[in-house]
């Protein structure tokens, strides 16, 4: 029983990172209809920039987190203005290919600047596990739980009560109608990329602190994609829950079935779910008249 609890708790901790990245995927898709396949690479880039900030300014965890979010939001806006906005009106496939090209470029840039050796992201956080009953978690993993609660609550309030949040929901529902109602759709697109980049920054700092930095970090983004499909590609909060479910499924499958299952457990889970709910657990079914 203790072994099961340890796998469950550590799976939730890993799933929180997947959830942050998954919410970034869903944020952009919901507003623009585009899947940003550079989300994992953006997370990696910001984490490495955070490494430089720590080495230069000796930042602690919270200061690094805030600085990384600011840097990431700027990068997200830059990508949207320079690469995505010129693609407006073009086929979605073309825009997706732009994000794939950006992902490849970021991978190469990271290795070119920082090298291929693993590096610790030292922020002064304790590396001694905190015991919670039979389970043990690193302090950074506990912080991830608190940050996720704050982010989910903040995003819910933002989408529910703010004028900008309501405008984002309207744009996600139907862009043409949003334009006719006077909503600045380009501004909404830029905001969605900024918010998505901010979520990537949180994930990047957490991954770097818990697991160290390495050029293979972008694979975490790929492994987070099943979380978005599971929760619903158009559901930001569903992606958060989907990330936790994927993390738990990976840990339990590896713990009880064997090595190698961790890499495929998430994809097996979404295959099962999509056969029952093709639009995900919290996604909305699209009804078209023909």
What is the average per-residue pLDDT within 8-36?
A: 89
Query: Tens digits of per-residue pLDDT, 228-277?
Result: 888 888 788 888 999 999 999 989 898 888 777 887 888 888 888 888 88
Selection from 1, 3, 2, 21 nearest residue 247 by Cα: 21
Q: How far is it between the farthest Cα atoms of the chain?
A: 61
Average pLDDT, the chain: 87
> Which pLDDT value is given to residue 290?
45
Instruction: Pick 3 or 202 by higher pLDDT.
Output: 202
Q: How far is CA 47 from the centre of its chain?
A: 13
Could you count the other beta carbons within 10 Å of the beta carbon of residue 287? Answer: 5
**CA 198/CA 192 separation, integer angstroms:** 10
Q: What is residue 129's DSSP assignment?
A: P
> Which pLDDT value is given to residue 229?
87
CATH topology of domain 2-125+133-276: ABC transporter involved in vitamin B12 uptake, BtuC (1.10.3470)
For residue 137, name the pLDDT band (cuts at 50, 70, 90): confident
Query: Tens digits of per-residue pLDDT, 155-208?
Result: 989 888 888 888 887 777 677 777 777 888 888 889 999 999 999 999 999 999
Q: Under a CB-based contact definition with an 8 Å cutoff, are residues 75 and 42 in contact?
A: yes
> Which pLDDT value is given to residue 215?
92
What pTM was estimated for this model as a whole? 0.91
Instruction: Pick 280 or 86 by higher pLDDT.
Output: 86
**CA 170/CA 195 separation, integer angstroms:** 17
> Which pLDDT value is given to residue 181?
78
Sole residue written with tokens 């979380």: 227
Task: For residue 68, give Cα distances in angstroms to 2, 51, 156, 208, 244.
Answer: 37, 10, 23, 12, 23
> Which pLDDT value is given to residue 148?
93
> Which pLDDT value is given to residue 183?
81
> Which pLDDT value is given to residue 285?
64
What is the average per-residue pLDDT within 69-75?
A: 96
**CA 21/CA 228 separation, integer angstroms:** 9
Query: Tens digits of per-residue pLDDT, 203-229?
Result: 999 999 988 899 999 988 888 888 888
Instruction: Pick 151 or 166 by higher pLDDT.
Output: 151
What is the average per-residue pLDDT within 93-112?
A: 94
> Which pLDDT value is given to residue 202?
95
């Amino acid at each position: 029983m203790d072994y099961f609890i340890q796998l469950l708790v550590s799976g939730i901790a890993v799933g929180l990172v997947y959830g942050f990245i998954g919410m970034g995927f869903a944020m952009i898709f919901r507003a623009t209809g585009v899947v940003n396949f550079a989300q994992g690479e953006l997370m990696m880039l910001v984490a490495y920039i955070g490494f430089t900030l720590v080495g230069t300014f000796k930042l602690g965890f919270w200061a690094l987190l805030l600085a990384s979010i600011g840097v990431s939001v700027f990068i997200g806006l830059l990508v949207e203005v320079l690469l995505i906005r010129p693609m407006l009106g073009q086929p979605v496939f073309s825009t997706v290919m732009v994000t794939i090209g950006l992902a490849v470029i970021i991978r190469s840039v990271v290795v070119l600047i920082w090298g291929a050796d693993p590096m610790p992201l030292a922020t002064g956080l304790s590396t001694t596990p905190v015991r919670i009953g039979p389970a043990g978690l690193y302090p950074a993993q506990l912080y991830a739980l608190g940050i996720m609660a704050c982010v989910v609550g903040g995003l819910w309030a933002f989408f529910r009560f703010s004028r900008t949040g309501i405008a984002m929901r309207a744009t996600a529902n139907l862009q043409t109608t949003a334009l006719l109602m006077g909503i600045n759709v380009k501004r909404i697109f830029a905001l969605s990329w900024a918010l998505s980049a901010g979520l990537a920054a949180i994930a990047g700092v957490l991954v770097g602190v818990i697991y160290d930095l390495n050029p293979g970090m972008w694979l975490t983004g790929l492994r987070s994609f099943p979380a978005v499909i599971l929760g619903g590609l158009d559901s930001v909060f569903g992606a958060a829950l989907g990330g936790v479910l994927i993390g738990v499924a990976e840990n339990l499958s590896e713990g009880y079935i064997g090595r190698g299952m961790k890499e495929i457990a998430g994809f097996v889970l979404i295959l099962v779910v999509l056969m029952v709910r093709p639009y995900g657990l919290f996604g909305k079914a699209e009804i078209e008249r023909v």
